[in-house]
Chain A
Amino acid sequence: MAEKYLMKGNEALAEAAIRAGIDGYFGYPITPQSEVLEYFSKWLPRKGIAYVQAESEVSAINMVYGAGACGKRVMTSTSSPGFSLMQEGVSYIACAQIPCVLVNVQRGGPGLGTIQPSQGDYFQAVKGGGHGDYRLIVLTPNSVQEQADMVYKAFDLSEKYLNPVLILSDGALGQMMETVEFKEDYVRPEFDDSWATTGKMTNRGMNTITSLYIKPEDMEKKNFELQAKYKIIEENEVDYELCHMDDAEIGYIAYGLSSRIVKKAVDIAREQGIKVGLIRPKTVWPFPKDVIKKYSEQVKAYLSIEMSVGQMIEDVKLAIDCKIPVEHYGKTGGIVLSTEEIIEKTKDMLNKY
């Protein structure tokens, strides 16, 4: 049995990264993410692992670029306004195909917003965020345990596909304390770093890491190459969890913190004899389109539940080509969802459809 720890989500994330063999962390303080940086500041220098508290998020993401392009396991973490600042670097990293792990412990926006939890950065996470045609692999934990587990997965996926992987968390998951166990049998998969800038040896040509393709034909080719990779990721890396979907008449769709509250709502509704179920995306890109499409043959309608005014709902509608009704229930600005309101909304929908 692995040892159990009582930890904050932010701390569990950092500890998992150390256990996953991180080679460098570059970050900048911002609430509600700062414990990630603080945890690393304590442990990485003691272990002789690279750690820099950068002068800004802009610098932090570019330090990730530099170190990641040397084939090292590197990450940064931030919260919403900081992730906005990083978008330039994220776009460069995506094009230059540098493996790295990014963490956004979301808070309420837009603007300076609030330090309370939110899921308002969904569009930014899955639709690009920065400029150009690129995608991030986006993992969505819903517990402190998953805050840890998904770090290993994020590093492995980023190296498998030479693509930045985003862990899309939120202020509640980052700040809450729960018990967590760390993998004891984790082995880092084999990783070919022959593309990286490690110093030009005589037995190979020079390695150049760039996102500059000044000839349009070359840029187009690069884009097609990236799109081909994204297609493979969509085919292979979709991850989700199903809860009581077998006989559900209304299907809830929720990720991250929302999915925990929705699970509770499913239990309460079932006690009242209301047949509801939950599809919980564990990856929001690639999005679990197929399973949502499959259950659209069975449920009367979907209810997309997010801590935003309705962002993921667009992907739900696209997944089913708007064949059945899809409604949104959400809270925004740092307010957390209410199970009572979810059930109220469900009853309304059952009357309607």
Chain B
Amino acid sequence: MAETITKNGQEFDVVWKKPNLQKNDMHYCPGCAHGTLEKLLQEVIDEKGIQHQIIGVSPVGCAVFAYDYMNCDMQEAAHGRACALATGIKRVMPEHAVFTIQGDGDLASIGLAETLHACNRGESIIILFYNNAIYGMTGGQMAPTTLPGQITSSSPDGRDPKLSGMPLKVANIVKEFDGTCYVTRQAANNAVNARKLKKAIEKAVDNSLNNRGTSFIELVGNCPSGWKLTPVESYKWWEENMLKYYPLGDLKTEGGIK
């Protein structure tokens, strides 16, 4: 039975509810998809009714203020250490779903060891990896995921692979581990992709609650401020460059250590 509400004496079916986020203004820049990720995650938490059974970790970077928006118990982590915290939480709270929200500087650079080992151990956690190919919070420096030729504040002539290597495709690495049960690359650049992202989050939350192994969702995102583009221009760059280098779709849908 669909939920209904009554307004002005008339009954309406509820087709969508605003996620039960905290009543704080988001600090994300105009056009940034970071907030979409948190909204969708909160929608999933609300719809599954698991607010009491989920704990989140937000490490240094633009993700750190997630605890000002998410409406569930949260821990703030040092730069790169989210997957270590999540491991600690999940090991002593095995009935809970545990998620991290991490940027690419956090996950793919300083926290790569923590991330890979958590995936390899098959910790039943949800890793939400917001990859926008740049350090957003510190002002737009080059990240391990920055595209070849991409201009950033610390690669003013564009990323030179001879100096800095090629962008790291973390999802491709972790899909090889037995410990991961779900590895997918999603985006939120339009409503269709946002709906797909939400489905991915639902699946990952189920995996975590049922201790099936690590779920790794890479959200290929944008960073209008770091990219020095308007929101509209950033969407164009996102689609023409990011989605080409980081193609969307499931890389792995089953696994985990049996």
Chain A residue, CB-CB nearest to B86: A66
> By CB atoms of chain A within 10 A, which of B54, B78, B84 has the most?
B84
Q: Does A334 contact B (CB under 8 A)?
A: no
> Which bracket fits the contact residues of B?
20 to 34
Contacts of A209 in B (CB 8 A): 74-76
Taking a contact as CB atoms closer than 8 A, the residue among B54, B57, B64 that contacts A199 in the complex is: B54
A209 to B52, CA, bound (A): 16
A59 x B91 contact (CB < 8 A)? no
Give the total number of A-B pairs whose CB atoms are below 8 A apart: 127
Q: Does B92 contact A (CB under 8 A)?
A: yes
B81 x A206 contact (CB < 8 A)? no
Selected interface stretch from B65-73, B148-156, B169-177 = B65-73
Contacts of B117 in A (CB 8 A): 54-55, 59
In the complex, what's the smallest C-beta–C-beta distance from B210 to chain A, in angstroms? 16
Chain A residue, CB-CB nearest to B59: A62
Taking a contact as CB atoms closer than 8 A, the residue among A56, A64, A92, A198 that contacts B93 in the complex is: A198
A66 x B76 contact (CB < 8 A)? no
Q: Does A298 contact B (CB under 8 A)?
A: no
A53 to B127, CA, bound (A): 21
A202 x B52 contact (CB < 8 A)? yes
B92 x A70 contact (CB < 8 A)? yes
Chain B residue, CB-CB nearest to A93: B78
B84 x A54 contact (CB < 8 A)? yes
Q: Does B89 contact A (CB under 8 A)?
A: yes
B86 x A55 contact (CB < 8 A)? no
B81 x A197 contact (CB < 8 A)? no
Contacts of B78 in A (CB 8 A): 62, 88-89, 92
B88 x A64 contact (CB < 8 A)? yes
In the complex, what's the smallest C-beta–C-beta distance from B112 to chain A, in angstroms? 11
In the complex, what's the smallest C-beta–C-beta distance from B238 to chain A, in angstroms? 29
A206 x B75 contact (CB < 8 A)? no
Contacts of B52 in A (CB 8 A): 199-202
A70-B55, A88-B78, A89-B78 known; A200+B72 contact, CB < 8 A: yes
Taking a contact as CB atoms closer than 8 A, the residue among A50, A89, A212 that contacts B91 in the complex is: A50
Contacts of A212 in B (CB 8 A): 64, 76
Contacts of B84 in A (CB 8 A): 54, 58-60, 62-63, 65-66
> Which bracket fits the contact residues of A?
35 or more
Contacts of B102 in A (CB 8 A): none
A55-B114, A202-B52 known; A208+B76 contact, CB < 8 A: yes
Q: Does A327 contact B (CB under 8 A)?
A: no
> By CB atoms of chain A within 10 A, which of B52, B55, B57, B91 has the most?
B91
Q: Does A72 contact B (CB under 8 A)?
A: yes
A62-B81, A63-B85, A199-B55 known; A69+B91 contact, CB < 8 A: no
Chain B residue, CB-CB nearest to A55: B117
Q: Which of B78-130 contact A (CB under 8 A)?
A: 78, 81, 84-89, 91-93, 96, 113-114, 117, 121
Q: Does B225 contact A (CB under 8 A)?
A: no
A55-B113, A62-B84 known; A67+B74 contact, CB < 8 A: no
Q: Does B77 contact A (CB under 8 A)?
A: yes
A199-B52, A199-B55 known; A62+B77 contact, CB < 8 A: yes
Contacts of B164 in A (CB 8 A): none
Contacts of A208 in B (CB 8 A): 67, 73-76
Q: Which of A1-39 contact B (CB under 8 A)?
A: 23-24, 26
Q: Does A179 contact B (CB under 8 A)?
A: no
In the complex, what's the smallest C-beta–C-beta distance from B73 to chain A, in angstroms? 4
A54 to B120, CA, bound (A): 12
In the complex, what's the smallest C-beta–C-beta distance from B25 to chain A, in angstroms? 15
A201 to B77, CA, bound (A): 23
A59-B113, A200-B72 known; A66+B51 contact, CB < 8 A: no
B64 x A197 contact (CB < 8 A)? no
Contact with B along A254-265 (1 / 0, CB 8 A): 000000000000
Q: Does B53 contact A (CB under 8 A)?
A: yes
Using CB atoms and an 8 Å cutoff, list the residues of chain B in contact with chain A. Answer: 22, 51-55, 57, 64, 67, 70-78, 81, 84-89, 91-93, 96, 113-114, 117, 121
Query: Mind listing 29 A-B residue pairs with CB under 8 Å?
Result: A26-B88, A52-B91, A60-B84, A62-B77, A62-B81, A62-B88, A63-B87, A63-B88, A63-B91, A65-B77, A65-B81, A66-B57, A66-B75, A66-B89, A70-B93, A74-B88, A89-B78, A89-B81, A92-B77, A92-B78, A197-B55, A197-B74, A199-B93, A201-B52, A206-B71, A206-B72, A209-B74, A209-B76, A210-B76
Task: Give the 10 A-B residue pairs with the shortest CB-CB distance, closest first.
Answer: A66-B88, A66-B85, A62-B84, A63-B88, A67-B88, A197-B73, A210-B76, A50-B91, A62-B81, A55-B117
Known: A66-B84, A74-B92, A210-B76. 20 other contacts (CB 8 A): A23-B92, A52-B91, A55-B117, A58-B114, A59-B84, A59-B87, A59-B113, A62-B84, A62-B88, A63-B91, A65-B75, A67-B91, A70-B89, A70-B92, A74-B88, A202-B51, A206-B22, A208-B76, A210-B67, A210-B74
